[in-house]
Amino acid sequence: MTISATAVRFDEHTMWVDLSDGRTLGVPLAWFPRLLNASTDARQRVEISRIGLHWEDLDEDISIAGLLAGRGDMTRQSKRAV
């Protein structure tokens, strides 16, 4: 079964993603700096597809598979302590 998003909403600190299997994911906006720093209007202009979420104006793409795996913004590599 392929799980997809059915709706997206935001509060001050969290992106809430309703899924086709009935679950709702709460994801910290801090995981996605472009969304964290975006206006409310820009956040609302999300395109929901079978595989993920897209914000054209923000150049942001988030896969549902990535959210389910607990991955945040993958464009920045975290530095590891040696």
pLDDT grade for 9, boundaries at 50, 70 and 90: very high
pLDDT of residue 82: 43
Using DSSP bridges, classify how beta strands 24-28 and 47-48 pair: parallel, antiparallel or unpaired: unpaired
As a CATH number, domain 5-68 is: 3.30.2020.40
Q: What is the pLDDT of residues 31-50, one digit of tens each?
A: 999 999 999 999 999 999 99
The residue assigned the tokens 């679950």 is 23
Please name the residues in contact with 29: beta carbons below 8 A apart, sequence gap of 6 or more. 10, 13, 14, 15, 35, 36
What spatial distance separates the first Cα and last Cα of the chain, rounded to whole Å?
A: 41
Measured CA to CA in angstroms, residue 19 lies from 16, 23, 38, 56, 73 at distances of: 10, 5, 23, 21, 20
